[in-house]
Amino acid sequence: MTTAVPLERDAVAAAFTTPEGSTATATATAIATVTERMIPGVTLSRVTLPAGRSANRSAVLDLLAGGVGPAAAAASTAAALTAATLTGEPYDVVVSAGIGGGFPPDAPVGSLVLADEITVADLGATTPEGFAPVTALGFGAVTHHPPKSLVREIAAVTGARIGTVLTVSTVTGTAERAAELRRRHPRALAEAMEGFGVAEAAAAHGVPVLEIRAVSNPVGPRDRAAWRIGDALAALTGAFGKLAPVLESWNPHDRTH
């Protein structure tokens, strides 16, 4: 599970290690253990969940704060994926998680957004006719799709809204840019800066990916005073308390896309 900054990683960990987090889920998460592991390129916080109602074996969740932006996210996630494969413990799923901007009115501050499409919004070229994504230029990909069944189940338990989450390298700070993004991506509910990088790393390893964002601010005119980071981090903690049992019981060999 990749976040950008330690504050977000710790909000996820709190779902398993604090009394508040343990009330968010019916599993015995209060006795989860957390250990730090340094691997080349990244430090992992390993949460070991005891066997619970949803799984009859203990489950492991590696958390990492991989840096802000798609490049840092891709590099750190790829390092973790490679290390896991080389130690014979490959991951079943990769999750990009954190705070994000929500497109009003569909994704209000404090709400959760779960991606059914993870789309990079600014990877391409500007042309006299407008923006051309790299795919129109004959390169790469601009969208990754999380497993549909997992998205459905996690949205059901967390109450997250399902839609496109955009990855941007430049935070939107004007109404014009917000409108332009929504015109190009009508299903976009949120934007953040890491999802596509995490998804590219996961795809390179053939591992399914999810992205979940807790909305800390509206996408639009820059207004730092309107940010609600504390509320968003609390929503992230609550979401992970509820979604962890779904991940634990998910059988990656029984995927329906």
Ligand X SMILES: O=C(O)c1cccc(C(=O)CC[C@H]2O[C@@H](n3cnc4c(=O)[nH]cnc43)[C@H](O)[C@@H]2O)c1
Return residues touching ligand X (CB under 6 A). 4, 68, 98-101, 168, 171-173, 191-194, 216-217, 219, 222, 224
Q: Name the minimum Å distance from CB 129 to ligand X.
A: 26
Compute CA distances 159 → 25, 114, 239, 256, whole Å. Answer: 14, 9, 9, 21
Q: How far is the CB of 243 from ligand X (least distance, A)?
A: 19
DSSP string of 92-145?
S-EEEEEEEEE-TTTS-TT-EEEEEEEEESS-EEEETTEEEEGGGGT-S-SEE-
Cβ-in-10-Å burial (0-12, 13-18, 19+) of 72 comes to: middle
Distance CA 61, CA 46 (A): 6
Q: Helix/strand/coil (H, E, C) string of 61-80?
A: EEEEECCCCHHHHHHHHHHH
Name which of 100 and 147 has its Cβ closer to ligand X: 100
Cβ proximity to ligand X: between 53 and 222 the closer is 222
Q: Which is nearer to ligand X, 11 or 32 (CB)?
A: 11
CA distance 245 to 16: 11
Considering the complex, what minimum distance in angstroms separates the CB of residue 165 from ligand X? 10
Q: Map residue 87 onto helix, strand or coil.
A: coil
Closer residue to ligand X in complex, CB, 49/115: 115
CB of 171 to ligand X, least distance (A): 4
Give the tokens for residue 228: 């609600």
* Least separation in angstroms between CB 162 and ligand X: 19
Nearer to ligand X, 25 or 237 (CB): 237
| Nearer to ligand X among residue 104 and residue 140 (C-beta) | 104
Phi, psi of 150 (to 5 degrees): -70, -40
**Smallest gap, in angstroms, from Cβ of residue 244 to ligand X?**
22
Shortest CB 219 distance to ligand X, Å: 5
Q: Interior CA angle at 79 toward 251 and 191, to 5°?
A: 75
Residue closer to ligand X by CB (options 44, 166) is 166
Collapsed DSSP state (helix, strand, coil) of residue 45: strand
Q: Which residue is nearest to ligand X (CB)?
A: 101
- Tell me phi and psi for residue 61, to 5 degrees: -130, 115
